[in-house]
């Protein structure tokens, strides 16, 4: 693995608890019900990407925060067992992030979260010299929702690109349309000019490029071209659209990769899997279309069961 390219991922890591919405239909105050779909897994969007990169044999380091508690040990061990190098700050005051995920009948999700600890990462907590020597840095929009981690991300993107010794690619996942709504000016000013790869879903890109003065909305095929025009530093734009697949744009071309048709049980982590599959293939030097296809295959694989790390034991690359 010494000659392989290395990714650094910074962001959320959590314990995810899953319950099927249908199992709650018979739940009453003070009662107790059985549910075979009540399960617990390691989670966090960036930790999921790290996990799958490790599974795909891509050298990867995860940077984040856990609590000094059993949950923190659980999620750290799960990553290390997948050969992920962990740079995890241990908080003595705050607990490991925990997310209750309610699975809706159509496979979509509702969340109840406690992730206060995730916001407390500071500049001094970074393995900066390692990141600058790496080949790709990845994070998501969830890391810019609160301080102090928000300013750490902005400073880090700029530092990677302005450090002449660094050749690391930077990759940003828009992550949630609500995040794009709240922080669109900052994303455009402090993230996109320093990004090489931008990924998100259709709804996130609609918010990102929306202009209240425009009477007509561009088609999804045009989203990536618009981003590439206004932000020429960006090499690749990836726009996922669920069962419709992925649309992509570069400064020279654009296209579409169809989705793999599978029975969807739970979409948790499908986007994370897509990113991991893409990064793994892209760092190996495969062409853009093949990298997107690997991401699409992994995202589809994850959708077929509960949890963002479903089917890791049975995955074939």
Number of domains comprising the chain: 1
> For the CA atoms of the chain, what is the radius of gyration?
19
Is residue 2 in some structural domain?
Answer: no
Give the confidence band of 166 by pLDDT, cuts at 50, 70, 90. very high
Is residue 249 in some structural domain?
Answer: yes
- Domain containing residue 279: CATH number: 3.40.1190.20
Per-residue pLDDT for 181 more than 90? yes
List the domain range (segments joined by +) for residue 93: 7-314
Is residue 165 in some structural domain?
Answer: yes
| 46 vs 313 pLDDT, higher one | 46
Report strand pairing: 39-43 vs 14-20. Answer: antiparallel
pLDDT in tens, 258-310: 988 888 877 778 999 999 999 999 999 999 999 999 999 999 998 888 778 88
Please report the pLDDT score of residue 3 as a whole number: 67
> Which whole number is the average pLDDT over 31-36?
85
pLDDT in tens, 53-89: 999 999 999 999 999 999 999 999 999 999 999 999 9
| DSSP state letter for 63 | E
Please report the pLDDT score of residue 1 as a whole number: 44
> Which whole number is the average pLDDT over 131-146?
96
> Mind giving me the DSSP string for 182-247?
HHHHHIIIIIGGG-SEEEEEHHHHHHHH--TT-SSPPPHHHHHHHHHHH-TT--EEEEE-GGG-EE
> Which whole number is the average pLDDT over 215-243?
91
Stated pTM of the model: 0.92
Is residue 15 in some structural domain?
Answer: yes
Is residue 30 in some structural domain?
Answer: yes
Is residue 40 in some structural domain?
Answer: yes
Is residue 236 in some structural domain?
Answer: yes
Distance CA 301, CA 246 (A): 15
Is residue 1 in some structural domain?
Answer: no
> Which whole number is the average pLDDT over 205-226?
86
Torsion of CA 190, 194, 197, 199, to 10 degrees: 0
């Amino acid at each position: 693995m010494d000659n392989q390219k290395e990714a650094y991922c910074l962001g959320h890591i959590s314990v995810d608890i899953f319950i099927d919405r249908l199992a709650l239909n018979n739940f009453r105050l003070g009662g107790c019900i059985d549910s075979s779909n009540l399960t617990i897994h390691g989670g966090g969007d960036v930790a999921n990407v790290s996990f799958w990169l490790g599974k795909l044999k891509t050298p990867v380091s995860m940077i984040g925060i856990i609590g000094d508690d059993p949950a923190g040990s659980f999620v750290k061990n799960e990553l290390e067992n997948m050969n992920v190098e962990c740079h995890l700050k241990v908080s003595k005051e705050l607990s490991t992030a925990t997310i209750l995920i309610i699975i809706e009948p159509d496979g979509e999700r509702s969340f109840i979260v406690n992730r206060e600890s995730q916001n407390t990462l500071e500049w001094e907590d970074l393995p900066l010299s390692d990141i600058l020597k790496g080949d790709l840095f990845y994070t998501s929009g969830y890391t810019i929702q609160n301080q102090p981690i928000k300013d750490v991300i902005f400073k880090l993107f700029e530092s990677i690109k302005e450090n002449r010794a660094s050749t690391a690619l930077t990759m940003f996942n828009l992550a949630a349309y609500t995040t794009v709504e709240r922080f669109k000016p900052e994303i455009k000013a402090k993230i996109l000019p320093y990004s090489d790869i931008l990924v998100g879903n259709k709804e996130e890109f609609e918010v990102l490029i929306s202009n209240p003065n425009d009477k007509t909305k561009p088609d999804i095929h045009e989203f990536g071209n618009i981003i590439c025009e206004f932000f020429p530093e960006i090499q690749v734009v990836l726009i996922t659209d669920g069962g419709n697949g992925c649309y992509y744009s570069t400064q020279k071309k654009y296209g579409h990769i169809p989705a793999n048709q599978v029975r969807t049980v739970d979409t948790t982590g499908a986007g994370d899997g897509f990113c991991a599959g893409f990064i793994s293939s892209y760092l190996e030097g495969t062409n853009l279309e093949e990298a997107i296809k690997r991401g699409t295959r992994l995202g589809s694989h994850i959708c077929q069961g509960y949890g963002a790390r479903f089917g890791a034991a049975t995955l074939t690359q």
